[in-house]
Amino acid sequence: MRLPLEKPGLADRLCAILAAGGVVIMPCDTIYGLVGLAPDTEERIRGLKGREEKSFLQLIGSAQWLPRFTAAGLPPSLAAYWPGPLTVIFPARTGTVALRVPADRLLDELLGR
């Protein structure tokens, strides 16, 4: 199913699809991406992309979400680039995690929900 970006209620429909464990292809702040709720849809996205080992970046709503993923803070020198098309790799409990705060109205709305 294709949903135009101008469609009224688009965010509601996307939220429903994602909440039901679905995966959507949508424009993100840099490219079109496969979007799902982590960690529930990671295996499905891996299958769709044929991607076995390389990890995915995770979109977060703001730097205030960092404690959910890492004990590290955002370096002050990078703060001016968030929100924006910058992915920062942080230390995590098991390895590293790549996080981005997107500068996109629709993604921001979805992350807020």
HEC per residue, 34-65:
EECCCCCCHHHHHHHHCCCCCCCCEECCCHHH
Q: Identify any residues that bridge with 95 across adjacent strands, giving them in sequence order.
A: 92
Q: Residues 69-79: pLDDT tens digits?
A: 999 999 999 99
The alpha carbons of the chain give a radius of gyration, in whole angstroms, of 14
State mean pLDDT over 13-32: 93
Q: Residues 34-89: pLDDT tens digits?
A: 999 999 999 999 999 887 778 899 999 999 999 999 999 999 999 999 999 999 99
